Structures are given as C-alpha cells and as structure tokens.
C-alpha cells in the first residue's frame, strides 16, 4: 500500500527509501488522514532505543495545515510505545529550523561531496 501511495503521488526517490531492504517489518509507517484520504505519512526504523526517521511526506494540498505536526506527534507516540527514548533524523540545513520547532536539536553535521 505504501509503495503504491508513494508511486501514485510521485514522491521523488522515496519508494525505494520506504522499501529499501527494511521490508521485513522493521519500517514503522504512520499516516494521517483528512477527509478519508491519506494526507501524509512518516516512516521510521528502530535502531536500539532510537527511532530513525526515513521519510516524512505531506500531500501538497495538505501542507501548512498541521499535518506535519500531527505526523511528528503520532510518530513520537508510536516510537515511545515501542520502547524508543530518542528520535533521530537527518535533514537539509535549510529545514533544520522547522525541525527545531518540534524539539529536535542539532547533534551532528552531515557533510557530503560529489565523486
């Protein structure tokens, strides 16, 4: 279902992120619905006692309507129920401010270069 959702909406590069070898059940998917349809989804993998975010996507017409906030809250609750004590994500520098509003702190700097 999630693969079809990603493909249908054309979520760039995330079909394989969601199904990237963790399809043994260890990817935890959380969805938010509005008017009977999926408005957004988030996926995370549990590593030890941490929930590592893999994807967060909000359907364009539902952006800026608290769907992302609701996804954060539902994801955090789901992870906590599974025994996680920390949520971890990697993001682009320009999005860091958004995540900091949801309680995330910068712990590491991820750097990359073209090969």
Whether 70 is in a domain gets the answer yes
Whether 22 is in a domain gets the answer yes
Determine the structural domain holding residue 79 and report its residue range: 2-100
User: What pTM was estimated for this model as a whole?
Assistant: 0.71
What is the pLDDT at residue 11?
Answer: 55
Whether 57 is in a domain gets the answer yes
Cα distances from 37 to residues 16, 32, 64, 68, 100, in angstroms, run 22, 8, 17, 15, 28
What is the pLDDT at residue 56?
Answer: 86
- State the average pLDDT for the chain: 78
Whether 111 is in a domain gets the answer no
CATH of the domain at 38: 3.40.630.30
Whether 110 is in a domain gets the answer no
The total of structural domains in the chain comes to: 1
């Amino acid at each position: 279902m999630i693969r079809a959702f990603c493909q249908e909406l054309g979520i760039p590069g995330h079909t394989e992120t969601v199904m990237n070898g963790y399809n043994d059940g260890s990817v935890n998917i959380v969805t938010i619905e509005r008017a009977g349809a999926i408005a957004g989804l988030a996926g995370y993998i549990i590593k030890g006692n941490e929930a590592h975010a893999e994807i967060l996507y909000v359907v364009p017409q539902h952006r800026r309507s608290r769907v992302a906030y609701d996804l954060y809250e539902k994801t955090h609750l789901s992870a906590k129920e599974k025994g996680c004590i920390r949520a971890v994500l990697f993001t682009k520098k320009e999005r860091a401010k958004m995540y900091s509003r949801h309680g995330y702190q910068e712990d590491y700097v991820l750097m990359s270069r073209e090969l």
